[in-house]
Amino acid sequence: MAVKAPWLGFLLLVSLWGLSTPALLLRRLREHIQKFQESSSLHPGFGLGHGPGAVPKQGWLEQPLDPFNASDRRTFLQRYWVNDQHRTGQDVPVFLHIGGEGSLGPGSVMAGHPAELAPAWGALVISLEHRFYGLSMPAGDLDLALLRYLSSRHALADVAYARQALSSLLNVSSSSPWICFGGSYAGSLATWARLKFPHLVFAAVASSAPLSAVVDFSAYNQVVARSLTQAAIGGSLECLAATSTAFKEVERLLRAGRAAQAVLREELGACGSLDRTEDQAELLGALQALVGGTVQYDGQAGAPLSVRQLCGLLLGKWGNRSRSTPYLGLRRAVQIILRSMGQKCLSFSRAETVAQLSNTKPQVSGVGDRQWLYQTCTEFGFYVTCEGLQCPFSQLPALPFQLELCEQVFGLSPASVAQAVAQTNSYYGGQSPGATQVLFVNGDTDPWHVLSVTQDLGPSEPAVLIPSASHCFDMAPVRPSDSPSLRLGRQKIFQQLQGWLKDVKKSQS
Ligand SMILES: *[C@@H]1O[C@H](CO)[C@@H](O)[C@H](O)[C@H]1NC(C)=O
Ligand SMILES: *[C@@H]1O[C@H](CO)[C@@H](O)[C@H](O)[C@H]1NC(C)=O
Ligand SMILES: *[C@@H]1O[C@H](CO)[C@@H](O)[C@H](O)[C@H]1NC(C)=O
């Protein structure tokens, strides 16, 4: 039986954006990229070229819903995937790919990191879907009584349980080193799994992990601005200036009365009316998300536009140059992205967003918008804003507007969000977690790298910062078009693992 359409969960390109229209849009973008990779993987020659015998196995673990209360006997089923095609024995390393805020498919153990690293050590590859996402859903409505059991701490307890349960289920020797991998939020989980359970987890590779929680993530757009000027990915100072000009024009039209708004709506392909101030803010946020998303996923298979293409449009390098303006370029970019994501129009209704996020019926497919919003409100913040002179966009939507969602959807005040974020940082240590044997990998054009570790914190907490690489790019399957710096980055990951695993062999013999 051949692997049909593996859902390549290695691409944990989740937006992580504080949940509002911009985030929903980024989620669509991520889904689009995943679908693309899914269909590409059906073509021979893509990725690993795994043989017909290589079928990942899906399994389910019965996990306690409340791992911190032994008298609570409720459980849920957590999905995992196993790829044992490279496994050469019982005491080989186990590469545990931790899932984040989305579902995990067979691709999580078949393609990209860590699967591509496994043959060198004959490693067993396992992935574990995060509770409350994908099919690993506890029974019941997603009301506040149930969401109490959703947090990074619960997810880490699941990792510890799974580590023990899977060891006996899959005959893993007690001397096997377990190495955690993860990208984005799951990269933070990989780090924290090593930090909190050093007796269970031998080492971790954390890709694009935002270790520091932050309420007001204005640095996101500062990196977006900087990346738009990077020549290596097709950016320039002119491109940044054109972005800013285009946004000024949108804001001008929004303020220029009903008739101008109607024209703007028509020209941007917006789904609804622009009468309400809150919808105007969401529209500006959505446009920012399209530009930010282009930077975040730059160069990756399936991304609708690269930074080079976006800058080309904004600067009128394609089409009729004499008639082009940055605003027309932005319009064209919006059309291209929406079309490639299969969206008829650009959606930005605040009321619709709130209604959608307030729905407590579990959605089996997709990222789990409501669940992730809950985690941002109760743990991480990550609300992307545009502040300071470096930000090329509109200052809307501002932070209070975004925080309002926690209040509207969950009744959580801005003060409680701020307190929760501070607690997260004190519990995990933010950007100085104090763990050992963790490798931090980031791309310097990725807006998230500023919340991660990009310089060695010492010999046992090394960092690799890959020039011109976007979010979690190191985890994607190897492609002929990969840049030399990306190849070098992957090589450094390999060498670091080699160093750590050599020490295991030494201490065993
Ligand atoms: C622990 O679980 C029991 C049984 O469900 C419940 O009665 C009790 O309130 C729980 N304790 C806490 C602290 O949640
Ligand atoms: C586990 O290992 C034992 C001893 O080598 C073997 O007899 C058994 O069949 C193995 N079980 C599985 C599920 O691999
Ligand atoms: C470009 O636009 C100008 C001004 O509208 C027009 O005169 C010219 O014919 C256009 N050129 C092309 C190739 O469409």
Whether residues 248 and 385 share a domain: the answer is yes
For ligand 3, say whether the CB of 323 is within 6 Å of any of its atoms. Answer: yes
Element containing residue 498 per DSSP (H, E): helix 484-508
Pocket, ligand 1, Cβ cutoff 6 A: 69, 71-72
Query: Is residue 322 within 6 Å of ligand 3 at its C-beta?
Result: yes
Rg value, the chain, Cα: 22
Structure tokens at 16: 């992580």
Instruction: Please tell me the distance from the alpha carbon of residue 329 to that of residue 315, in angstroms, as a whole number.
Output: 7
Examine residue 4 and state whether it is found in any structural domain, yes or no.
no
Does one domain contain both 177 and 248?
no
| Count of domains forming the chain | 2
Same domain, 338 and 474: no
pLDDT given for residue 346 in this prediction? 85
Which CA distances in Å does 103 have to 13, 137, 365, 368, 491? 12, 10, 7, 9, 28
Domain assignment of residue 270, yes or no: yes
Nearest CA to ligand 1 atom 6: 72
114 prior amide bond cis, ω within 30: yes
Locate the ligand 3 atom nearest the alpha carbon of residue 323 and give its number: 2
Domain end position, chosen among 423, 450, 484: 423
Residue 320 CA, closest ligand 3 atom number: 1
Residue 95: closest CA among 80, 112, 115: 115
Tell me if 426 CB under 6 Å of ligand 3.
no
Please name the residues in contact with 359: beta carbons below 8 A apart, sequence gap of 6 or more.
370
Domain presence at residue 443:
yes
Q: How far is the C-alpha of 40 from the C-alpha of 49, rounded, in Å? A: 12
Per-residue burial over 121-147, b if 16 or more Cβ lie within 10 Å, else e, is bebbbbbbbbbbbbebbbeeebeeebb
Distance in Å, CA 59 to ligand 2 centroid = 18
Residue 375, phi-psi category: left (phi > 0), alpha (psi -120 to 50), beta (remainder): alpha
Same domain, 361 and 417: yes
- Blockwise average pLDDT, block size 10, the chain, 509 residues: 29 37 68 64 42 75 97 97 95 96 89 94 97 93 96 98 97 96 97 98 98 96 97 97 97 93 91 89 91 94 94 85 87 91 83 88 72 95 90 90 94 98 98 97 97 96 97 93 96 97 76
**Count H helices, E strands: the chain?**
16, 10
Q: What is the pLDDT of residue 397?
A: 87
* Residues 300, 181 share a domain: no
CATH number at residue 234: 1.20.120.980
**Which position has the token pair 């050992």?**
436
Structural domain range at position 498: 56-211+431-508
The count of residues in the chain is: 509
Residue 173 CA to ligand 2 centre (angstroms): 11
Q: What is the DSSP letter of 232?
A: G
Q: Are 204 and 437 in contact (CB under 8 A)?
A: yes
Annotated catalytic residues are 184, 446, 471
Contacts of 187 (CB under 8 A, 6+ apart): 206, 207, 208, 209, 210, 452, 472
429 dihedral zone (left: phi>0; alpha: psi -120 to 50; beta): left
- Ligand 2 center to residue 171 CA distance, Å? 6
Whole-prediction pTM: 0.91
Atom number of ligand 3 nearest to Cα 321: 1
Gap from CA of 75 to ligand 1 centroid (Å): 14
Distance 117 CA to ligand 2 centre (A): 25
Judge if 354 and 451 occupy the same domain.
Answer: no
Q: What type of residue sits at position 343?
A: Q
Which of 318, 321, 323 best tests ligand 3's pocket when mutated (most atoms within 8 Å of CB)? 323
Q: Among residues 390, 423, 456, which one ends one of the domains?
A: 423
Q: Residues 170, 285: one domain? A: no
